[in-house]
Every structure is written in C-alpha cells, then in structure tokens.
C-alpha cells in the first residue's frame, strides 16, 4: 500500500474485502500540508485499488524558514547579580541567529549582545563605612555589575529532531567569543591610609603585596621598621627622605584586551508559530519564533578574575513567552557557576574614606592601584520584546503560511505519525 510515493505496511490479518488497516511510516515533512492519493498494489506492484478521497500529510516543524539566514533582534531590560553583591539594572539588546546545512543538521551560530556583566570593581575587600539617614552603619559599595558587549560564535550540530513532531530539537554546540565591559578609566574609590602599627596597616600590606610587586610600583615600600611614620612610603623622587603615602586610590584599569571565553554543551530549541494564525510548522514564507536554552561548560575570564583560571557551568536562555498572541514577548537570562580551585571568603578591611587628588595631578603621597575583575558567581534575568517581529507586523510584511483550502480539508483525512492510518475502501480501478 502506498500513500503518494511512501510505502506503508499492511498489518497481518487487518484487511478484508471492504477495508485495509496499515501502519504508516513518518509521513510528515518540512513543507506545507500536501494532499496525496492512496493506492493498493499487489506483490508485483500492479495497481489493485485506489481511494476515492485523498489524505492530508501533516507537515512537521523544521527550519526551512531560516533561509538564507535566521536573524533576530530582541531588546529589553534586565537585572544583573553577583554573589553577595547588590543587583544592577540595565538595558539589554541581542542580535543573534544561525544557519544550518546538511539537511538542517550542522552549521554556524552567532550572537552579539549588549547586556549586564561583571566589571572591574575588586578592592581586595577594602571598604569604608558611613552612617545612612536612618543611623545604621553601612559600607560603601562599588558598582560591580555594568554594561558589556558579549560576542559569541560557534558551531551547532542538531542531532535529535524527532521530539513532538520535530517541534523541539536537541543540539550539541561548541563556541568561543569575548566580553568587554563598557567603562571609562576613572578614579572609583579613595581611602585614607591606616596608621603604621595598626592591624589594618598589616592586613593592607599583605593584600597589596602582589600588586606592588609589579614593575609599575617600583619605589612603593611597605614599612615594617618600628617607629615608621606611615604604612607605605614612596621612595621615588625623594631628595632627602621617603614621602609618606597618605591616600589609597582605586582606578578602573585601562585594559587593552578583551576577556576571552569558550564553552561547549547542549542546546534545546523550541519552536512556536510566528503569528496566532500561523501554521504549526516552520516553512519558507512563514517564520517561526524559537526559544533557545543552552547548558554549557567552559571558561570565561570576565567571571574568573580576568583570566581563564576556573571552569564555569552556565545555563543561558532566550525564549518567547509561550502564550498565544504574546510570543513577541521574550524572557532571557543566564546563571554562571564557577568550579575548580575557587578562592575562599575574605573578611572586609574597613578604612576611612578619603578625598581624591586626581584633579591636582600626580601626587607622591597617593598610591593608585587598579580595581580587579571579580571572581564570583553571576546571574542575570530580564524581559523584552522581539523587535524584528514587531517591525515586520507594523510594516505589514508578516508572512502567512500556505494552507489547504477549506474544501480540500473537508474532503481530506489526516494521517498522524506512528498511528494506524484510516481505513481506505479498495474501490476504483482493478
């Protein structure tokens, strides 16, 4: 028995002079609904009978609408969080897409995002305290999350397509990219140096030792001799005696390099109609909305102190709201958890706030050190809209899927995948 050009198997003992019951193979396809004839043949291929009415083959969900390139533009608002830090709100823009080849199995993907990300804000846990209007004592807090550009490229292998009539698919992804915070090189915080001989001075000397060991700090000395006048001294440009360092300033570093990243893992893709009247499949001329959820393992210097020194497990998602007539609204977010040789907790070192001398130019009594890139877990969550879809709707260019005429639908019988086909009376030519 054949449905169009597709051969079906007749179940043993499930046929008689008036009906035949068969199990059909996968008749779905990535195209518009198609009407086909049903034919009964003998063992030699001779036509015995054909149906008086045609059958409708159900089209499957697929990726034909991604020709020649799938491009999406989503914008919105999000909150970014680091562990044990206050949140930061900022705008979110994402420009992303993909193109699969080899029967929609393998191809590249890309993403360019303006989003929240960790920024240089580490002061080696040095803080100052102040009284807020309620009288409670709180610590000063640098903005540890800011706007950043996140660029990614990679390869996707879609290895599992047959879930829910191909509506949901699984892919293996591997990619790389970089993140660069959008910051200016400014003084971010100023503290008064603690007096020599105090616990704070000893602790500060230990925390700044790795920084002061660099060649940019030749001449800055941590005093250890009893009776010293200051915690640190500047021995450069001193004609008589070293200059006592009285201020400690933290500045945003002038970083010449992007923060690299790489990862690999599993991607889940869910497909939804592009419009409320759209077909339940993705065909050329009828664009679907897709939700992506990625589970990856890799490394990201932006999350691990500026270098690729820890592993990072990340869940990243950008997904339309699965509600009829509202799938132009998107939810997005990510959660990144570091693992492997993580640093321990550090107690805060409380110093008195100072007044920056940057406006007066270089000062030998001021020590300026760079803020460090955080080494903390990070997550972000937000909501936005598919700008591409909205512009298309406003311009009247929304594509509608091709459908079978009402008359043809009334005369047709659907064939469901994996289910017995409706019985076809063996009437007609012998």
pLDDT tens digit string along 192-244? 999 999 999 999 999 899 889 988 888 899 999 888 889 999 988 666 788 89
Q: Higher confidence at residue 37 or residue 102?
A: 102
Q: Higher confidence at residue 45 or residue 272?
A: 272
Is residue 385 located within the same domain as residue 291?
yes
Structural domains counted in the chain: 2
DSSP label of 279: -
Q: Higher confidence at residue 244 or residue 421?
A: 244
Domain-located, residue 416: no
Q: pLDDT digits over 142-156, tens only?
A: 545 567 889 999 999
Instruction: State the pTM of this model.
Output: 0.73
Domain-located, residue 338: no
341: nearest Cα among 370, 299, 402:
299
Domain-located, residue 214: no
Is residue 21 located within the same domain as residue 134?
no
Range of the domain at 292: 64-184+254-330+373-394
Judged against a pLDDT cut of 50, whether residue 406 lies above it is answered with no
Is residue 266 located within the same domain as residue 166?
yes
Q: Are 150 and 102 in contact (CB under 8 A)?
A: no
* Cα 223–chain centre separation: 48
User: Which residues lie below 8 Å from residue 269, measured CB to CB, with a gap of 6+?
Assistant: 158, 168, 169, 170, 171, 290, 291, 292
- Tokens read off for 219: 């001449």
41 burial type by CB count under 10 A (0-12 exposed, 13-18 middle, 19+ buried): middle
Is residue 20 located within the same domain as residue 125?
no
Q: What are phi and psi of 145, to 5 degrees?
A: -125, 130
pLDDT of 134 reads 40
Is residue 72 located within the same domain as residue 26?
no
152: nearest Cα among 245, 259, 276, 255:
259
Strand, coil or helix: 240: coil
Residue 189 to residue 209: CA distance in whole angstroms: 19
- Tokens read off for 47: 């036509």
Terminal-to-terminal C-alpha distance of the chain: 14
Domain-located, residue 402: no
| CA R_g for the chain | 33
Q: Higher confidence at residue 176 or residue 358?
A: 176
Query: Which of 11, 33, 54 is the last residue before a domain boundary?
Result: 54
Judged against a pLDDT cut of 70, whether residue 407 lies above it is answered with no
Residue 96 to residue 73: CA distance in whole angstroms: 7
Residue 356 to residue 366: CA distance in whole angstroms: 9
pLDDT of 412 reads 35
CA distances from 428 to 14, 48, 86 (A): 20, 8, 77
Mean pLDDT confidence for 385-392? 82
Mean pLDDT confidence for 114-134? 60
Domain-located, residue 411: no
Is residue 169 located within the same domain as residue 107?
yes
Q: pLDDT digits over 29-70, tens only?
A: 544 445 566 777 777 777 777 775 655 555 677 788 888 888
Q: What is the mean pLDDT of the chain?
A: 77
Is residue 16 located within the same domain as residue 159?
no
Residue 65: CB atoms within 10 Å: 20
Is residue 102 located within the same domain as residue 168?
yes
- Using pLDDT thresholds of 50, 70 and 90, give the confidence band for residue 272: confident
Domain-located, residue 242: no
């Amino acid at each position: 028995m054949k449905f169009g050009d597709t051969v079906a198997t007749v179940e043993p003992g499930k046929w008689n002079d008036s009906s035949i019951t068969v199990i059909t193979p996968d008749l779905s396809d990535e195209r518009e609904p198609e009407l086909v004839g049903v034919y009964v043949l003998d063992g030699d291929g001779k036509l015995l009978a054909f149906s008086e009415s045609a059958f409708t083959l159900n089209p499957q969900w697929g990726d034909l609408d991604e020709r020649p390139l799938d491009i999406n533009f989503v914008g919105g608002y999000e909150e970014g969080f680091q562990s044990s830090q206050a949140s930061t709100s900022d705008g979110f823009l994402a420009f992303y897409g993909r193109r699969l080849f080899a029967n929609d199995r393998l191809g590249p993907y890309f993403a360019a995002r303006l989003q929240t990300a960790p920024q240089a804000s580490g002061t080696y846990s040095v803080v100052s305290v102040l009284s807020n209007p309620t009288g409670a004592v709180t610590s000063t807090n640098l903005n540890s999350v800011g706007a950043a550009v996140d660029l990614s490229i990679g390869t996707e292998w879609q290895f599992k397509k047959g879930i829910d009539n191909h509506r949901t698919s699984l892919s293996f992804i591997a990619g790389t990219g970089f993140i660069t915070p959008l910051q200016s090189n400014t003084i971010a915080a100023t503290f008064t140096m603690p007096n020599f001989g105090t616990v704070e001075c000893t602790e500060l000397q230990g925390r700044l030792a790795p920084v002061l060991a660099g060649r940019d700090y030749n001449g800055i000395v941590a005093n250890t001799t009893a009776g010293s006048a200051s915690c640190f001294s500047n021995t450069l440009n001193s004609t008589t005696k070293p200059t006592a360092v009285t201020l400690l300033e933290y500045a945003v570093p002038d970083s010449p390099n992007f923060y690299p990243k790489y990862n690999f893992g599993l991607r889940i893709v869910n497909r939804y109609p592009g419009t409320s009247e759209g077909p339940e499949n993705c065909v050329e001329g009828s664009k679907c909305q897709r939700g992506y959820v990625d589970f990856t393992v890799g490394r990201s210097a932006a999350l691990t102190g500026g270098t690729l020194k820890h592993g990072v497990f990340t869940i990243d998602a950008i997904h339309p709201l699965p509600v009829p007539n509202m799938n132009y609204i998107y939810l997005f977010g990510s959660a990144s958890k570091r693992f492997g040789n993580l640093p321990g907790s550090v107690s805060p070192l409380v110093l008195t706030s100072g007044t920056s001398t940057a406006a007066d130019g270089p000062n030998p009594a001021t020590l300026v050190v760079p803020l460090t890139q955080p080494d903390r877990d990070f997550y972000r969550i937000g909501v936005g809209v598919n700008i591409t879809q909205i512009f298309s709707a406003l311009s009247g260019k929304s594509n509608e899927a091709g459908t079978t005429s009402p008359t043809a639908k009334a005369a047709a019988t659907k064939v469901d995948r994996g289910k017995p086909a409706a019985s076809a009376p063996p009437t007609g030519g012998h």
